[in-house]
Chains A and B, each alone.
Chain A
Amino acid sequence: KAGVTQTPRYLIKTRGQQVTLSCSPISGHRSVSWYQQTPGQGLQFLFEYFSETQRNKGNFPGRFSGRQFSNSRSEMNVSTLELGDSALYLCASSPPQGTLSTDTQYFGPGTRLTVL
Chain B
Amino acid sequence: KQEVTQIPAALSVPEGENLVLNCSFTDSAIYNLQWFRQDPGKGLTSLLLIQSSQREQTSGRLNASLDKSSGRSTLYIAASQPGDSATYLCAVKQGDDMRFGAGTRLTVKP
A residues within 8 Å of B by Cβ?
A: 4, 33, 42-45, 48, 55-56, 88, 90, 92, 101, 103-110, 112
Contacts of A48 in B (CB 8 A): 96
Contacts of A90 in B (CB 8 A): 43-44
The listed residue (A33, A55, A104) touching B46 by CB distance below 8 A is A104
Contact assessment for B101 and A42 in the assembled complex, using a CB-CB cutoff below 8 Å: yes
- Which residue of chain B has its CB nearest to the CB of A42? B102
Contacts of B91 in A (CB 8 A): 43
The listed residue (B31, B43, B49, B97) touching A45 by CB distance below 8 A is B97
Contact assessment for B32 and A108 in the assembled complex, using a CB-CB cutoff below 8 Å: no
Q: How far is the CA of A109 from the CA of B91 in the complex (A)?
A: 18
- Which residue of chain A has its CB nearest to the CB of B101? A42
The listed residue (A43, A92, A108, A110) touching B89 by CB distance below 8 A is A43
Tell me the interface secondary structure of chain A in the complex: strand
The listed residue (A4, A103, A109) touching B93 by CB distance below 8 A is A103
Contact assessment for A4 and B43 in the assembled complex, using a CB-CB cutoff below 8 Å: yes
Interface size class of B (residues with CB under 8 A): 20 to 34
Sorted nearest first, the 10 A-B pairs with minimum C-beta distance are A107-B43, A43-B100, A107-B44, A56-B96, A42-B102, A109-B43, A110-B43, A104-B46, A108-B43, A109-B42
- Which residue of chain A has its CB nearest to the CB of B95? A56
A21 to chain B, nearest CB (A): 13
B34 at the interface (CB under 8 A from A): yes
Tell me the residues in window 84-110 of chain B with beta carbons closer than 8 Å to chain A beta carbons. 89, 91, 93, 96-103
